[in-house]
Each structure stands twice: as structure tokens, then as C-alpha cells.
Structure 1
């Protein structure tokens, strides 16, 4: 079953689904700066656009483009910013 999720007054939206192997979401983040929280371990792959993130325990922002991914531990938070609409796929473990 598909479920639509909306965050930050609609500036980030995703659709939850069950992939062949893991629960997942696919979504779009509008330009801006955000802080996301995680429940489970997440692997986030940028599908289009560019996402710059500050991961837990890191001092430097890292930039990820289309086809690149990063991981975030469960029960954590990370900051993300983008200047363009950015699409992503996120899987949860």
C-alpha cells in the first residue's frame, strides 16, 4: 500500500512502499535547509539534483549528486540542504 508523507509545510514529500527487499520511500525535497530524524538505519540515494548533508558525528558538509548515496544510523538526525528540487530513494533497515 502506498502512503504519502509530507514534511516542512509540503517542501519535502515522499511516497512509502515496500520494495522487493526493504521498506522504502521515494520523494522530492524543495530548495531549502532541513533537519531529518531517523527511526531505522537509512540508505539515501540521490536520483536527481544535488543534496548537501551534515551527517551525525561529522564536522564537514558532504555533497551528493545523482547516483550517489549515504547512510544514516537509526535513532539519529542529519541536516540536509539543496538549491534545486532533488529527488531521492531511501531504503530502511
Structure 2
């Protein structure tokens, strides 16, 4: 799990990712009451499959995409590798996408 998530955070310029429990604790510490949590990982995972298919299609049909990936000055080219990592992280359950609904008590 760490081998997937650490590079995703680094390449995506994220400070880090928490899990459901960590986000619940942060919300409660801020004075919120947890109303619900919905795991949206399955539909989000399908999105990354579509992104990969489109990226691969462009790599095959558009030379500009291939040049971009070979260009050492293109700092954002790492995202192509990150896309694969994100897809694998969702497929293996290492990464989840959730909707935490909270309420601020009166």
C-alpha cells in the first residue's frame, strides 16, 4: 500500500492522504457530528479506467503525447505514471474515495 500511495502523493503534490478513520477523527475533533460515510470507490475506480484507455489511445495515435512523455522539461509528465498507480491503488483497495457527511451541533 505504501509503495502506491507515497508516490501518488509525491507526484500529485499532496501532503498526504488519510483513511476514513482519520477523517472521522479530524471532523469530530473540530466539533462536527458524523452523519454518514459513503464509499464511492467503485464508481471512481471506473473513472480511472476510462482515463487510462483515453491516455493509451492518445499515445498510440498522437505523436504530441509521445513527445510530451519523452520531454525531460515537461514537469507534469509524471502524471502519466501516476494515473497507472491510482488505478492500481483503487483496484487493490489501497485507495478509497468516500463522502463523509457531518453536521455542526448547535
- TM-score w.r.t. length of structure 1: 0.20
Relative to its length, the structure with more strand (as a share) is 1
With CA pairs under 8 Å and 6+ residues apart, which has the higher RCO, 1 or 2?
Answer: 2
Q: Which structure is larger by alpha-carbon Rg, 1 or 2?
A: 2
